[in-house]
Amino acid sequence: MEKAAAEAAPTVTAAAVEGKEDEEEEEEAEEAEAELAERFLRLEQEQLALLRGLALFGEPVSHIYNPLDYAWEPHCCFVRRYCRGPKRVLFLGMNPGPFGMAQTGVPFGEAWHVREWLGVTGGVRKPPQEHPKRPVLGLSCPRAEVS
């Protein structure tokens, strides 16, 4: 009876051990990628703190939008999803128009593409001083960026 039970018990195969090792390697790689995104976000926060210390613009500048202040949630969603692992090229900056990053917090990203194509989500608050002709509507902004 013991012999029959031993024969019926599952045995650990080399393939099962390799599968477990592969899973562990994948988990480690995912953790490393996630840490890269978090380091990037921390660096951005450090840079934002330095920028806040700069003198404000004078006339004729009346409004300054800093989407990383009021659109931080979708920006984080973008970074955590797409800034994982090494890349051959990294574009830094934002498009200059009011219907891209100013709305979404995603560099070079107008609302429709950010929301529908990239699948980015998150809340966008109003900037501290909003220009009446350039309201921030976040990911629901219906306008397209032409720049």
Domains of the chain, each with CATH number or no CATH: 14-117 (3.40.470.10)
Query: In the prediction, which pLDDT does 34 show?
Result: 87
Region 24-36 average pLDDT = 83
Q: Comparing 78-82, 86-90, 110-114, which segment has the lowest mean pLDDT?
A: 86-90
Query: In the prediction, which pLDDT does 13 show?
Result: 64
Per residue in 46-75, pLDDT (tens digit) is: 999 999 899 888 999 999 999 999 999 999
Residue 79 pLDDT greater than 90, yes or no: yes
Residue 6 pLDDT greater than 60, yes or no: no
Residues in the chain: 147
Distance of alpha carbon 109 from alpha carbon 147, whole angstroms: 11
Query: In the prediction, which pLDDT does 115 show?
Result: 96
Query: In the prediction, which pLDDT does 5 show?
Result: 56
Per residue in 89-146, pLDDT (tens digit) is: 777 776 667 899 999 999 888 899 999 999 999 999 999 999 999 999 999 999 988 7
pTM beyond 0.75: the answer is: yes
Query: In the prediction, which pLDDT does 49 show?
Result: 95
Q: Angle of helix 14-52 relative to helix 72-82, nearest 10 degrees?
A: 140
Query: In the prediction, which pLDDT does 96 show?
Result: 66
**Distances, alpha carbon 59 to alpha carbons 6, 28, 124, 128, in Å:** 85, 52, 27, 18
